[in-house]
Amino acid sequence: MTIYRTRVALRHQFRDVLNFYYPDCLDTRIGGYVAQLDERDGHVYDERTRHLVATARGVHNFSLGVLADGPHWCRHAAEHGLRFLSTAHWDPATEGYDWLLDGRTPTDRTRYCYGHAFALLASARALQAGIPGARAELERAFAVLEDRFWEPTHELYADQAAPDWTRVDPYRGQNANMHACEALLAAYEATDDERYLDRAYTVADRFTRQLTRTHDLDGLLWEHYTESWEPDRSHNADNPRHQFRPPGFQPGHHAEWAKLLALLADHHSADWLLSRARELFDAAVELGWDDEFSGLYYTVEADGTPIVPDKYGWAHAEAIGASALLSREDETYLSWYDRLWEYAESHLINPRYGNWYERLPRGHDRDGPNRGTAVEPGYHPLTNCWLAMDAVADDAGEK
Quick: pLDDT tens for 318-340. Answer: 999 999 999 999 999 999 999 99
pLDDT of residue 175: 98
- Give the span between the Cα atoms of 174 and 253, in whole angstroms: 9
Long-range contacts formed by 215-222: CB under 8 A, 24+ apart: 218/302, 219/279, 219/283, 220/249, 220/254, 220/283, 220/287, 220/302, 221/174, 221/249, 221/250, 221/253, 221/254, 221/257, 221/280, 222/174, 222/249
pLDDT of residue 397: 47
pLDDT value at 396 more than 70: no
277 to 323, 341, 344, 394: CA distances (angstroms) = 10, 20, 22, 23
- Give the span between the Cα atoms of 56 and 17, in whole angstroms: 16
Which has the closest alpha carbon to 255: 298, 225, 294, 291? 298
Q: pLDDT tens-digit profile of 84-136?
A: 999 999 999 999 999 999 999 999 999 999 999 999 999 999 999 999 999 99
Is 60 noted as a catalytic residue in this protein? no
pLDDT of residue 64: 98
- Choose the catalytic residue: 89, 224, 235, 380: 380
Which has the closest alpha carbon to 27: 69, 58, 71, 64? 58
pLDDT value at 272 more than 90: yes
- Choose the catalytic residue: 235, 253, 254, 316: 253
Quickly state the pLDDT bin for 369 (edges 50, 70, 90).
Answer: confident
- Give the span between the Cα atoms of 181 and 261, in whole angstroms: 10
pLDDT value at 228 more than 90: yes
In words, the CATH class of domain 3-236+243-391 is: mainly alpha
Beta bridge partners of 299: 308
pLDDT value at 209 more than 70: yes
The DSSP-derived string for 263-329 is HHHTT---THHHHHHHHHHHHHHHHHB-TTT-SB-SEE-TTS-EEE--EEHHHHHHHHHHHHHHTTT
Residue 360: φ, ψ to 5°: -130, 150
251 to 277, 303, 316: CA distances (angstroms) = 13, 12, 10
**In this structure, are residues 124 and 186 in contact, taking their beta carbons and an 8 Å threshold?**
yes
CA atoms within 13 A on the CB side of 275: 6
Which has the closest alpha carbon to 295: 306, 370, 303? 306
pLDDT of residue 367: 79
Residue 41 has what DSSP assignment? T
Q: pLDDT tens-digit profile of 287-303?
A: 999 999 999 999 999 99
Which has the closest alpha carbon to 31: 64, 66, 60, 55? 55
**In this structure, are residues 319 and 255 in contact, taking their beta carbons and an 8 Å threshold?**
yes
Angle between helices 7-21 and 379-391 in degrees, nearest 10 = 160
SS3 of residue 349 by DSSP: strand
- Give the span between the Cα atoms of 143 and 136, in whole angstroms: 11
Q: Residue-wise over 355-374: b if at least 16 C-beta within 10 A, else e?
A: bbbbbbebeeeeeeebeebe
Four-CA torsion 70, 72, 78, 83, nearest 10 degrees: 170
Q: In angstroms, how far apart are the furthest CA atoms of the chain?
A: 55
Amino acid 142 reads F
Q: pLDDT tens-digit profile of 16-74?
A: 999 999 999 999 999 999 999 999 999 999 999 999 999 999 999 999 999 999 999 99
Quickly state the pLDDT bin for 1 (edges 50, 70, 90).
Answer: low
**In this structure, are residues 20 and 378 in contact, taking their beta carbons and an 8 Å threshold?**
yes
Q: For the chain, which residues make up each domain, given as ranges?
A: 3-236+243-391
pLDDT of residue 204: 98
**In this structure, are residues 59 and 82 in contact, taking their beta carbons and an 8 Å threshold?**
yes
Quickly state the pLDDT bin for 399 (edges 50, 70, 90).
Answer: very low
The C-alpha angle with vertex 15 and arms to 62 and 378, in degrees rounded to 5, equals 60
SS3 of residue 78 by DSSP: helix
pLDDT value at 398 more than 70: no
Cis preceding-peptide flag for 23 (omega within 30 of 0): yes
Is 242 noted as a catalytic residue in this protein? no
Q: Taking residues 264-283, what's their average pLDDT?
A: 98
pLDDT of residue 393: 79
Q: Which residue has the higher pLDDT, 106 or 393?
A: 106
Average pLDDT, the chain: 96
Q: pLDDT tens-digit profile of 177-208?
A: 999 999 999 999 999 999 999 999 999 999 99
Q: What percent of the chain has pLDDT over 70?
A: 98
pLDDT of residue 94: 98
